[in-house]
Chain A
Amino acid sequence: MTRDRRLSWINGLLLPLFNVLTAFLATAIVFILINVNPIEATKILIYGAFGYEEGIGYTLYYTTNFIFTGLAVAVAFHAGLFNIGGEGQAYVGGLGTALVALYIDPTLSAWLIIPLGIFGGLLFGAMWAIIPAYLQAYRGSHIVITTIMFNFLASALMVYLLVHVLREMGQMSPQSKDFPDSAWIPFVHEVFAGMGIKIAQSPLNLSIFIALIFSALVWFFLWHTRWGFAIRATGKSNDAAVYSGINPKKIIVVTMCISGALAGLVGINELMGVQHRLLLDFNYGYGFGGIAVALMGRNHPIGIIIAALLFGILYQGGMDLAFEMQNVSRHIIVVMQGLVILFCGGLEYLYRPILIRFLAPIEASE
């Protein structure tokens, strides 16, 4: 093995693995501190995520959301942009999807409505990202600050719309009327039932395939098109991009639009897939989770799918854990997520020197 390849193995596989294990170790210490047997907790968590059909369904359903937001953060990362606005872009993107579903002629075919719903999510997500992008590119406002502010704006906007504009007449709760059936993305258990196989009901729907298709598209776009090259070049070296005739300002705007559009797809899974109406806070936590997913997945679609799955497991298993154990609160998920972010993001290269030193004798012997 060449040194280059070995380093990429260390960076791509061993480091994230060790980081996640450390995060779990830290979680175990937290469990011990709150008088919970960590081995017992792990068992419950894993059983909750994988042990029964419904659990698997939930795990994959959460995974779908994390793939969308993970991809969103990763695309921006490749242009050197830190998009913290996934939360808001997902929220507003959901509005786009909902508007299509609510106002389109319901007699149209699902084959038309669903793609239009996807387009609505992409478009609204992109629009919510374009203003911070413009401000960063042409006015020098830092994207981290503006995107995080736009999360709050999105939240306020959606509350206003759901209370005053989109709320169903005669309803107390701030949510829209139900989408027509033709705007529902089929559940996986329904699809299986159609084939004569009976599996347990869960929110898992065909959006997960949309997520996988978009993962492949992102991979192709970033590494196999000239625009992807321009984005990556800009992210690695602004000077080199300018030198080669790329306009970094345009790249910032275009990349943030793509990033926001991907985050905007959360609404496909949540609204067209599960809730079948627009409601408050359906996006809650996925935008920020996407940051951790992208960090852990090394901004590569395959890594993101794996990391999203891990987060899906933590979400679903964590819910079960909080349900089963008296002294574990639902917020343990947030703690575990935080520890994963800390070790995969903040302390990314913690083990790198050790691993390199460990591998040095192997190198010398070659």
Chain B
Amino acid sequence: MDQSNIAIELTDVDKHFGAVHANDKVNLSVKTGTIHGIVGENGAGKSTLMSILYGFYQADSGQIKVFNKQFRATSSRQSIEAGIGMVHQHFMLVDNFTVLENVILGSEGGALITESLDKARIELTRLAKEYGLEVELDVPVESLSVGMQQRVEILKGLYKGAKVLILDEPTGVLTPQESDELFRIFEALKKQGVTIILITHKLREIMNITDHVSVMRAGKMVAHRQTSETNPEELAELMIGRKVLLNINKTKAKSGPPLLVANNLEIHNEQGLKRVSEVSFEARSGEILGIAGVTGNGQGTLLKALAGILPLSKGSIKILGETISPEITLNPEQLRNLGVAHVPEDRQRMGMIADFSASETALLGYHNDKEINQGIWLKRSSVKANCESIMEAFDVRPTNPDLKSSNFSGGNQQKLILAREFERDPEVLIIGQPTRGVDIGAIEFIRKRIIEMRDAGKAIILISVELEEIMSLSDRIIVMCDGEITGTVDASDADEATLGMMMANALISQEKSNEAQL
């Protein structure tokens, strides 16, 4: 291979975190001006590798060359100087700063910032034209859509002179249309000679956009492929080391009576902002109702209200013979006793307690159960035995109830939470992001279990940002945008394009009204 057109070259990069071998003699070479995908399960070491490249961590051993120069970064500043830019999964933007202010953050120059602001404005206008990255410069970042904020992140990288851009799961928060737009930007950047490293677990993206792809598994780089010479099945197999079922076989739903009827709901979130309005739907026994939408369009708020965490401002929910209204509330515990299970969207903060042992995480929400309490005494032996049995039922590994919850992998944490909620035989299941940050092997397992619950006659409400997940699991789909339902479709009639249009529907009309105001 010609040495001159290699942007990044890693040789035998090794990194330990205590006993965890996060990167095991990793080799990678990325050609200048290409789009290089890196795929791997959660915990495969992709993020660690990129963090080494971006100067957050230092490798224990191994060599890194950036544009043929030896490179060893101890801070992100050095990486930026070497021409590396990174767009994180969670944006690093100051919400109430304008786009321009965000871009110069970290390179303000002298004591007064007017000069660097003027310089940045000229430079950004040029970059925007060159790469098709038009963004309004003088509006606060918080008023921009997620897709636009991402552009700001990319512009930030380019402004600082990045010739290599690393993007970590960039499409997780985007609508399909916004993703397409992002990929168009990638192509433009590539034409200008910018190298792009794309970290993702979405194989379809890899196939559509990248030139090369490298696969990581358990800290090792297991394969490098030309994208044109591989296929999703092969990549999935490489990622987890065995064959996987990417499509789920499920029978047609045998819908029964509605177990949950939501009528004209209006809900305010914790900050008192109205996030859901005029939402009505019903969830039937033996059926999975999928709620699709871009993150932050009210689905999360709706989920919390269904689980009893947020009160209703208007409307009512009829659930298993009880009625919830703005006047009559049921708390999460009362709902649980009624037969409503809730797998929260935010696993780390809500579904479990990282510092608690697995058995205590498995106790969350059920600590008042009669079986484990004797008078004032909470019987820890019963708690542990119970945890052990649900761990076995859901194949949670390691099967150790005393292990700290945070020491389980994402997939096993999620399985533990699902086990806790499923094993009490609820009638209605409210499930948020069941497979977010979960490895492929566990995804398969979790999806099968959800379908089993459906077939056992439970009513399931599923919220996910993964359109593919909603489409493959649900029997009926409702789409939310800006707190309202913008469409209801049968899963058999659903395709990505129509769902995407529905997901963006209100956004587009809102932008139009904004423009009209301007």
Contact = CB atoms under 8 A, between A and B. Distances in A.
Interface of A: 3-4, 223-226, 228-230, 232-233, 236-237, 239-240, 242-247, 356, 360, 363-364
A300 to B, nearest CB: 14
B308 A240 contact: no
Interface in B314-339: 331-334, 336
Interface in B250-274: none
Contacts of A225: 376-378
Given A4-B404, A224-B380, A240 B349 contact: yes
A228 B360 CA distance: 12
Given A233-B356, A233-B367, A243-B364, 8 more contacts: A3-B18, A226-B378, A232-B356, A233-B353, A233-B360, A243-B344, A360-B19, A364-B19
A61 B342 CA distance: 52
B404 A239 contact: no
A229 B363 contact: yes
Contacts of B344: 243
A236 B404 CA distance: 13
12 contacts: A4-B404, A224-B378, A226-B373, A233-B367, A239-B350, A240-B353, A242-B309, A242-B350, A243-B364, A244-B366, A363-B18, A364-B19
Given A229-B378, A360-B18, A242 B332 contact: yes
B96 to A, nearest CB: 22
A327 B336 CA distance: 67
Contacts of A226: 367-368, 373, 378
B346 interface: yes
A245 B332 contact: yes
Given A236-B355, A237-B349, A245 B363 contact: no
B350 A240 contact: yes
A4 B307 CA distance: 34
B349 A239 contact: yes
Nearest to B330: A245
B407 interface: yes
B157 interface: no
B351 interface: yes
A4 B403 contact: yes
B103 interface: no
Nearest to B375: A225
B349 A229 contact: no
Contact of B364 (A223, A244, A360, A363): A244
B351 A240 contact: yes
A230 B367 CA distance: 8
A245 B403 contact: no
Nearest to B334: A245
- Residue of B333, B366, B367 most packed against chain A (CB within 10 A): B367
Interface in B395-450: 402-404, 407
Contacts of B342: 243
B232 interface: no
A123 B390 CA distance: 43
Contacts of B349: 237, 239-240
A233 to B, nearest CB: 6
Contacts of A228: 378
Contacts of B334: 245
Contact of B19 (A233, A236, A363): A363
A245 B340 CA distance: 12
Contacts of A236: 353-356
Contact of A245 (B308, B352, B353, B373): B308
B384 to A, nearest CB: 13
A4 B407 contact: yes
B55 interface: no
B320 to A, nearest CB: 16
Interface in B465-485: none
B378 A245 contact: no
A77 B333 CA distance: 25
B365 interface: yes
Contacts of A233: 353, 356, 360, 364, 367
A298 to B, nearest CB: 13
B378 A237 contact: no
Contacts of B355: 236
Contact of B309 (A230, A232, A243, A360): A243
B333 A244 contact: yes
Contacts of A4: 402-404, 407
Contacts, number: 80
Interface string B2-19: 000000000000001011
Interface string B37-61: 0000000000000000000000000
Nearest to B377: A224
- Residue of B344, B368, B403 most packed against chain A (CB within 10 A): B368
Nearest to A224: B378
Nearest to A233: B353
A229 B407 CA distance: 20
B331 A247 contact: yes
Contacts of A232: 356
Nearest to A243: B350
A356 B17 CA distance: 10
A226 B360 CA distance: 11
Contacts of B309: 242-243
B352 A240 contact: yes
A4 B403 CA distance: 7
Contacts of B333: 244-246
A292 to B, nearest CB: 23
Contacts of B332: 242-245
Contacts of B336: 245
A172 B230 CA distance: 96
A150 B346 CA distance: 38
B19 A240 contact: no
Contacts of B307: 243
3 closest A-B pairs by CB: A245-B333, A244-B365, A245-B332
Nearest to A229: B367
A223 B363 CA distance: 13
B364 to A, nearest CB: 4
A237 B373 contact: no
Nearest to B16: A360
A3 B309 CA distance: 36
A211 to B, nearest CB: 22
A10 to B, nearest CB: 11
B25 to A, nearest CB: 16
B388 to A, nearest CB: 17
B74 to A, nearest CB: 16
Contacts of B377: 224-225
Contacts of A247: 331
A214 B373 CA distance: 22
A244 B407 contact: no
A3 B403 CA distance: 10
A322 B284 CA distance: 79
Contacts of B367: 226, 229-230, 233, 244
A237 B331 contact: no
- Residue of A226, A247, A360, A364 most packed against chain B (CB within 10 A): A226
A59 to B, nearest CB: 34
Contacts of A356: 18
A149 to B, nearest CB: 28
Contacts of A243: 307, 309, 332, 342, 344, 350-351, 364-365
Nearest to B368: A226
Nearest to B369: A226
A178 to B, nearest CB: 39
A247 B373 CA distance: 20
A225 to B, nearest CB: 5
A29 B376 CA distance: 51
A266 B242 CA distance: 65
Contacts of B380: 223-224
B376 A239 contact: no
Contacts of A223: 380
A364 B309 CA distance: 45
Nearest to B361: A240
B378 A240 contact: no
